[in-house]
Amino acid sequence: MRDVLVGLLVGLFSGLLGVGGGIILVPLLVLLMHKGQKEAQATSLVVVALGATSGALTYGVSNSVHWESLLFLIPGGLLGTWVGTFLVKRVESRWLQLFFAMLLVVTAFRIGVDSWTSPTEFVEGLTAASAIGFAASGFAMGFLSALLGVGGGIIVIPLLVALFGFPQQLAAGTSLVAMVPLALFGALRLSRSGFTQWFQGLRLGLASIPGAVGGALLALSVEATILQVAFAIVLLVAAASMARKALK
């Protein structure tokens, strides 16, 4: 029953904020279920992939996915995932937790600022510069997805909004589509080291699917600024939890 409730909560955040749910799940697995940091991160990727699939379908049906950017986001993300999984096997868990917390604080601050500033003008057509930018953003997404088990949405959504002028909903939908192959690739690579707990990940992931659909439907009907502020608050809560755990 606990796994079902946790899965629903993770799915809700995945669909609502386009972040894959890992920023919620990793602290829960570490603090509530007493998993090791690396096991929590690897298992989170399984849940992220399942939850992101249902959320991405909902955004896709609503035409809230920028498909052209995915041609560059995904290849860049796969390369970043490979690098991230290489490093996660060699970095001490304590430092992963601190890095996780610091990243969330920086991202929350940036999103909070963006929610009160004028948005970048959105240009739909692809240029050579934007293609390179999308590939670099995908690399960052894949790298952090594998290194921290958070899906990568916490870094790629701010980039898509701030640098490319994506509306929040379009950024969230695009992030979720890219997240599916990247999270699966990361989970498969980390399973070779015994970190990925597939059975629990699948159980949590299946429970997250209805939550992700509900969250995506809610996001499509909510003002983008409200979503950005909510996103920032969630990141700060997750950061505090992980920092407290790392410094004990």
Nearest-5° angle of CA 45, CA 46, CA 50? 110
The answer to whether the CB of 234 falls within 8 A of the CB of 112 is no
The answer to whether the CB of 87 falls within 8 A of the CB of 239 is no
SS (H, E, C) 109-143: HHHHHHCCCCCCCCCCCCCHHHHHHHHHHHHHHHH
Nearest-5° angle of CA 183, CA 7, CA 67? 40
Please report, in tens digits, the pLDDT of each residue of the chain (248 residues total): 777 888 887 777 767 766 656 777 887 788 778 888 888 888 888 888 877 787 788 888 888 899 999 999 999 999 999 998 998 888 887 787 787 778 778 767 766 665 555 555 666 667 888 899 999 999 989 998 888 777 677 778 878 887 888 887 888 889 989 999 998 999 999 988 888 989 888 888 888 788 777 877 877 777 767 776 777 777 787 777 767 767 76
One-letter amino acid of 41 = Q
Nearest CA-CA partner of 104 in 218, 17, 212, 36: 17
Nearest CA-CA partner of 242 in 88, 22, 80: 22
